[in-house]
Amino acid sequence: MSKLTIPKEEIMSSGHLACQGCAGALAMRYMLKVFGRKTMLAIPACCWSVIDGPWPYSAVSVPLFHTAFETAAIAASGLKAGLVAQGIDDVNVVAWAGDGGTFDIGFQAISGAAERNDNILYVVYDNEAYMNTGIQRSSATPYGAWTTTTPANHPKDRPKKDLVEILAAHRIPFVATASVAYPEDLIKKFEKAKNTKGFKLIHIFAPCPTGWKMPPELSIESARLAVQTRVFPIYEVENGVHYKLNINVKNPKPVGEYLKIQGRFRHLKEDDYKVIQGNVDREWKLLMRKVETFK
């Protein structure tokens, strides 16, 4: 297999407004390296509404349409339809949204675009809460996490919504998880999405040091630990049924190693760790069954 290279060209400039250690900013940098200048972005309300810079500035050298919170998928679809109607077929349109705009308020439009198999890439940079509004829980917030709307004495008591499975159920050509801690895998997935027609969704695990109450230098480490503890498996599903595990974790670390470096889990006790470990083990087993069944 040929050695993977990450394109050198920077289409995102360094003068953006992201917090230190923002994985959402890093993810955009990688995506644009792969997608290049023949790309247009639709971005709903999310951290990236701020990161890109206020009018008249922009941190990306591609056209960007800021759109309403729940409309990333459909604004991108509309953009794509408009371009194709004008005979412009070679421009990629990417919807780029946070977890709130994806798992919650934008969910209906995503389901619509996925069901129609609209020819766009949807990327969710998932920092597991409404970070731009100041750390409120979303349906992507994991079990046990503190947020400003799930205080430490009543943390989130429901698991994270399983977005990839729901998208797989739409039988779209390509849906995958990815992580900024595994850039080679991330780049490959962007390339695959770029070369696949129809609706694609990449779910990127994107640590937020500000919202997770951890030092910025732990951003990549926490993302890597999420994979190594099997909290966030890296896999893909083609056409809704062909499961492939991209990063195998043969000897997982205990979940505590991932949880203990983040302030948002500081209130958890040993018993809570056990519950979370049990959940992670069960979900991994389920995923392995699918990988085995459909490989």
Partner 1 sequence: MKKVILGDHAVSYGALLSRVQTIAAYPITPQTLIIERLSEMTANGESNAIFTKVESEHSAMASTVGSSASGARAFTATSSQGLALMHEMLHWAAGARLPIVMANVNRAMAPGWTIWTDQNDSLSARDTGWMQIYCQNNQEVLDSIILGYKVSEQVNLPTMVILDAFFLSHTAEGVDIPDIKEVDKFLPPYKPEIKMDINDPRSFGALTSPDVYMEFRYKMQESMDKAKEVITREGKEFGKMFGRKYGLVEEYRTEDADTILVASATVASTARAVIDEMREAGQKVGLLRIRVFRPFPTEEIVRVIGGKKKVIVIDRNISFGKTGIFFDEVKGAFYNYTGNKPPMFGYIAGLGGRDVTPKVIREIMDDAIKKDKPESEILWKGVKL
Chain positions contacting partner 1, by CB under 8 A: 37-40, 42, 49-50, 52-58, 60-68, 70-71, 74-86, 88, 91, 108-109, 111-112, 115-116, 118
Amino acid at position 123, single letter: V
For residue 184, the tally of other CB atoms under 10 A from its CB is 12
* First and final C-alpha spacing in the chain: 21
Supply the minimum distance, in Å, between the C-beta of residue 54 and partner 1: 4
Could you give the CA distance from residue 168 to residue 114 in angstroms, rounded to a whole number?
A: 10
CA-nearest of 175, 259, 162 to 214 is: 259
Supply the minimum distance, in Å, between the C-beta of residue 13 and partner 1: 12
- Closer CB to partner 1, 21 or 78, in the complex: 78
Supply the minimum distance, in Å, between the C-beta of residue 94 and partner 1: 12
Could you give the CA distance from residue 257 to residue 272 in angstroms, rounded to a whole number?
A: 13
- Closer CB to partner 1, 37 or 158, in the complex: 37
For residue 54, the tally of other CB atoms under 10 A from its CB is 9
84 alpha-carbon distance from chain centroid: 27
Do the bridges between strand 121-126 and strand 200-205 make them parallel or antiparallel, or are there none, so unpaired?
parallel
- Closer CB to partner 1, 17 or 287, in the complex: 17
Supply the minimum distance, in Å, between the C-beta of residue 93 and partner 1: 8
- Closer CB to partner 1, 21 or 106, in the complex: 106
The answer to whether the CB of 121 falls within 8 A of the CB of 95 is yes
The answer to whether the CB of 219 falls within 8 A of the CB of 207 is yes
R_g of the chain, CA atoms, integer Å: 18
- Closer CB to partner 1, 44 or 233, in the complex: 44
Supply the minimum distance, in Å, between the C-beta of residue 83 and partner 1: 5
Supply the minimum distance, in Å, between the C-beta of residue 17 and partner 1: 9
Residue count of the chain: 295
- Closer CB to partner 1, 53 or 159, in the complex: 53
The answer to whether the CB of 204 falls within 8 A of the CB of 27 is yes
Supply the minimum distance, in Å, between the C-beta of residue 167 and partner 1: 15
- Closer CB to partner 1, 47 or 214, in the complex: 47
Q: DSSP character for 161?
A: P
